[in-house]
Amino acid sequence: MEPLSFEKLWQLLAPEGEFCRRRNACEKRWESFSVQRQHAIYRILETKKRNGDYVSPNPYFALDDNDRPVFLSGSEQDRVHAAGIPLVMVHYHGRFLVCTRDTMNAYALDYIRDVI
């Protein structure tokens, strides 16, 4: 998996006015993420933008607000599993949830077992 360029993220967020001055802080934060985490955050932001959901106009907060693991519902698990993507059960904030192995690794989640 290739790293996502900061330029691509910046174009997606398209900050305006005073928020443009957050570029350096955002770039440092972006570069600190693993490649898997960059892809996960980018997918979340891209989906929110496409659906017209709220994304903070401050790009630093947009990153911070969307830097979280994505867990899968039952129907999502079926779809992802059918695509051959390995799923795992993890322990997260007192709950047992299912996500992809990439998400588990990107966020250093506590592994419980593989999901078949």
How do the domains of the chain map onto residue ranges? 6-65, 74-115
pTM, 2 dp: 0.78
Long-range contact set of residues 2-6: C-beta below 8 Å, sequence gap at least 24: 2/35, 3/35, 3/38, 4/35, 4/38, 4/39, 4/42, 6/30, 6/31
Q: What is the pLDDT of residues 51-108, one digit of tens each?
A: 999 999 999 999 999 999 989 999 999 999 899 999 999 999 999 999 999 899 989 9
Q: What is the pLDDT of residues 36-50, one digit of tens each?
A: 899 989 999 999 999
- Nearest Cα neighbor of 15 from 61, 83, 70, 64 is 61
Residues 6+ apart with CB under 8 A from 86: 100, 101, 114
- Nearest Cα neighbor of 85 from 116, 52, 110, 64 is 116
Strands 95-100 and 110-115: unpaired
